Amino acid sequence: MKIGICTGGGDCPGLNAAIRALVKSAIKHKDIELYGIKNSFNGLKSRPLSYTQLNRQSVVDIYHRGGTILGTFNKGAYKEETSNKDLDLICEGYNSLELDCLIVIGGEGTQSIAQQLIEKKLNVIGIPKTIDNDLPKTEQTIGFSSCVDLVAESVLRLQSTAESHHRIMILEVMGRDSGFIGLYGGLAGGAHIILIPEIAFNYNAICEKIDQRRKLGRNNSVIVVSEGAYEAGQDSRPKNLTQNLSKNLAEMTNMETRVTVLGHLQRGGAPSPEDRLLATRLGVYAMNLAIKKTYNRIVMIHEAKTVDIEYSAINKWERKLVSLDNELMQAAEAIGISLGR
């Protein structure tokens, strides 16, 4: 039995832990050969093919390492509707290696391509990963926990400098469409104001919270802003959201403001213990599916348990949003955090 493994889309902590789990759970089965496909689907698309055989030695000491030993690709070459030419090249590469199955670790873009490959009669098993935690059907994705840890630590660090200089510190985090990173990281770190794409913000509400703190003698505030947040009444999201926010709040509050953009720091570094455990759970489960030849399924977390569903159960890979009845959203407002409304 020949099984391919690839990682696609943006990198995140936990990918190597998932690869390790896949490899180590297959080792005891002597009839299984594992092929690491390099740089996402490019390894199957390129000529010559780009791959490496995986074994126990391949995954030594990678459990705690960020990134992916297989490389990845996230430059827009693959769209939700990938061209038939590209798909055919990938299928040819798959057949050339005589693969029985391809295990795909990736986010919505990568998994949508996997779904198209299934329509081309390839056998696929999916593992969800994205720091945004915005994939449909699953409660948590690989990379999210590590990102939340970083955001929370960053908020704590900004609080001390905000207190020292009596400033408003604005922290921009990823989350173009969904606010899981901003909400969870901001709440865990003790932010005073959190702005996410699901709730259009109002400057008056933000200033009201800042004024409340000043009346209590707290002449500083930390604001966490998802990159996709936007002002109520605006038709489009400004390109320089946090810079505009900083400038406007400085004028409205007469306080110094500073902006920190976490950017790709959120993708790098060692995975959190929670991500290592999650990646191991999903990896072992996915390999068991492959061994049983239960193909065209994607592994998920549902009600805190590892499950699998058919790819066909997901009609479209639309990003999951923070629901307005989210328990942590309600908890944030209950303890006095402003969501800008």
Q: Could you give the residue numbers annotated as active site?
A: 132
User: Which is nearest to 111 in space by CA: 143, 88, 94, 135?
Assistant: 135
CA atoms within 13 A on the CB side of 120: 24
CB 203 within 8 A of CB 248: yes
CB 209 within 8 A of CB 192: yes
Burial of 116 (0-12, 13-18, 19+ CB in 10 A): buried
Burial of 93 (0-12, 13-18, 19+ CB in 10 A): buried
Buried b (16+ CB within 10 A) or exposed e, 43-67: bbbeeebbbeebeeebbeebbebbb
CB 332 within 8 A of CB 192: no
Both tokens assigned to 310: 């058919």
CA distances (Å), origin 270, targets 64, 65, 72, 148, 267: 6, 5, 17, 13, 10
Both tokens assigned to 165: 């200089």
CA atoms within 13 A on the CB side of 104: 34
Q: What is the DSSP string of 130-183?
A: -TT---TT-S--BTHHHHHHHHHHHHHHHHHHHHHHT-EEEEEE--SS--HHHH
Q: Name the 3-class secondary structure at 18.
A: helix
* DSSP code, position 263: G
Residue 104, beta-bridge partner list: 6, 126
